[in-house]
Amino acid sequence: MQDVASTAAPAAAEDAGKKTTIGSYLKANLREYGLLLALLIVMASFQIMTGGILMKPLNITNLVLQNSYIVIMAIGMLLVIVAGHIDLSVGSIVGFIGALAAVLMVSWEVPVFISVIVCLLAGVAIGAMQGYWVAYHKIPPFIVTLAGMLVFRGLTLALLQGQSIGPFPVAFQRLSSGFIPDILPIGGMHGLTLLLGAAISLYLVYANFRNRIAQSRIAAPDEPMTVFLFKNALILVAINYFTWLMAGYRGLPNVLIVMALLIAIYSFITGRTTIGRRIYALGGNEKAAKLSGVNTERLSFLTFANMGLLAALAGLVFAARLNSASPKAGVAFELDVIAAVFIGGASMSGGVGTVVGAVIGAFLMGVMNNGMSIMSVGIDYQQVIKGLVLLAAVIFDVYNKKKGG
């Protein structure tokens, strides 16, 4: 017998037609704005506590370089977690790909370009293998990637025979330690950096305005005008301030350009393409997505293959930065990456999360690492504080959701 109660939903929030106020809008989107606000507050506090060292051009550059591989992997991990899975093997893949690159470039003297391609393909193959078991055989991803974590750590040791291999060819090192060329210096500063900053920020603001106008042709936009203007002003100021800082040192690092491109591409994929939308549906309710004609197996498979690709890229960036491949490379990276994604607002059960959130989450952790190191907080208490931040972020999410739901 069917019981009426079990399917009767809670009464709808029937506040149709009510105009969204700034307060109610911010409240409804507390998570996104809260995260950005948290990052700003953390940066401001460390700026004060470190006596201005945090925002020094050299330190900002270091901050970017130190966190680049975490950010790159957080983007891939975001997709995996949104699809409702997890990947524990990424730290080991970083180590393995670094080792592979060292063997190819240093031991066998394979040209840099070919080595990089081989390494990226190896990453895709590793991700695809793990994805195959998860997607087509329903083996829990926790188990599959835990196995992968052990296997590829072991293979890293085997490849390197327990020793570090280096140094890498100079061309390869430039992936991490290089900066974009300064073709038109402006007043002693890195001109191209300033120009890129201005161009990108203006384009973002332009795109926002264009979107809003298109939206308002159909219905009143949900975001209040004040919030919208403030957001765009913040984009202009933040990006230009940032590039101005960087221009005072050696300009934008190459790896930052790579990161920016990845963020742009993956934000586009998750937000604007059918495949992105289907991944969210898959993570939100796999059965409903499947019954709506979504090829859920293939999507799961692809998110893992993509994770493998990005983990391989991160492995190359990390190896280039250290200028050697070591058996210990990438140990426990998966934990930082996963923490970044969850701090960035993704849901453990899948279906929720954004690329930008994951990136901000990664930088939030990075800024705290960096700031605490400058203040010479020991590695012991750094870990404690990071752990508490992760816990607090997720508690905030769960609490926030209960209140809203």
Partner 1 sequence: MNAILEMRSITKTFPGVKALADVNLTVERGEIHALVGENGAGKSTLMKVLSGVYPHHQYDGDIFYNGELQKFAKISDSEAKGIIIIHQELALVPLLSIAENIFLGNETATKGVIDWHEAHSRATELLRKVGLNENSATLIDNIGVGKQQLVEIAKALSKEVELLILDEPTSSLNENDSEALLELLLEFRRQGITSILISHKLNEVAKVADTITVLRDGMTVSTFPCDHGPEIENKIIKDMVGRELTNRFPPRDVEIGDTVFEVKNWNVYHHIYSDRHLIRDVNLNLRAGEIVGIAGLMGAGRTELAMSIFGRSYGQKISGEVQLKGQQVDVSTIRKAVDRGLAYVTEDRKEYGLVLENTIKNNLTLANLDGVAKGSVLDDNEERQVSREYIDKLNIRCSSMLQEVVNLSGGNQQKVVLGKWLYSNPEVLILDEPTRGIDVNAKYEIYTIINELAAQGRGIVFISSEMPELLGMCDRIYVMNEGRMAGELPAAEASQEKIMRMILKNDG
Interface positions with partner 1 (CB under 8 A): 1-18, 211, 214-215, 217-219, 222, 272-275, 277-278, 280-281, 284-285, 287-295, 347, 351-352, 405
- Nearest distance from C-beta of residue 165 to partner 1, angstroms: 41
- Nearest distance from C-beta of residue 131 to partner 1, angstroms: 20
**Minimum CB distance to partner 1 smaller for 187 or for 405:** 405
- Nearest distance from C-beta of residue 5 to partner 1, angstroms: 6
- Nearest distance from C-beta of residue 258 to partner 1, angstroms: 23
- Nearest distance from C-beta of residue 29 to partner 1, angstroms: 10
The pair of structure tokens assigned to 3 is 């019981």
**Minimum CB distance to partner 1 smaller for 288 or for 388:** 288
CB atoms within 10 A of CB 164: 15
Q: What are phi and psi of 47, to 5 degrees?
A: -60, -45
Burial class, 53, CB count within 10 angstroms (exposed 0-12 / middle 13-18 / buried 19+)? middle
- Nearest distance from C-beta of residue 109 to partner 1, angstroms: 41
**Minimum CB distance to partner 1 smaller for 296 or for 369:** 296
- Nearest distance from C-beta of residue 219 to partner 1, angstroms: 7
Confirm if 64 and 256 have CB atoms less than 8 A apart. Answer: yes
**Minimum CB distance to partner 1 smaller for 51 or for 293:** 293
**Minimum CB distance to partner 1 smaller for 231 or for 298:** 298
- Nearest distance from C-beta of residue 143 to partner 1, angstroms: 19
Among the listed residues 356, 364, 352, the one whose alpha carbon sits nearest the alpha carbon of residue 404: 352
**Minimum CB distance to partner 1 smaller for 6 or for 376:** 6
- Provide CB contacts within 8 A for 88, sequence distance 6+: 142, 145, 146, 148, 149, 334, 338
- Nearest distance from C-beta of residue 151 to partner 1, angstroms: 31
**Minimum CB distance to partner 1 smaller for 248 or for 345:** 345
**What three-state secondary structure class fits 15?**
coil
Cα distance between residue 366 and residue 314, in whole Å: 16
Cα distance between residue 90 and residue 123, in whole Å: 10
**What three-state secondary structure class fits 120?**
helix
**Minimum CB distance to partner 1 smaller for 16 or for 183:** 16
Tally of residues, the chain: 405
**Minimum CB distance to partner 1 smaller for 181 or for 402:** 402
- Nearest distance from C-beta of residue 11 to partner 1, angstroms: 4
Cα distance between residue 265 and residue 271, in whole Å: 10
The pair of structure tokens assigned to 202 is 């203006």
Listing DSSP states for 276-345 in one string gives HHHHHHHHH-HHHHHHTT--HHHHHHHHHHHHHHHHHHHHHHHHHHHTSB-TTTTTTHHHHHHHHHHHTT
Q: Can you list the positions of beta strands (E) in 135-180?
A: none
Report in angstroms the alpha-carbon separations of 40 from 47, 234, 385. Answer: 10, 11, 18
**Minimum CB distance to partner 1 smaller for 17 or for 181:** 17
Angle CA 20–281–348, to nearest 5? 85
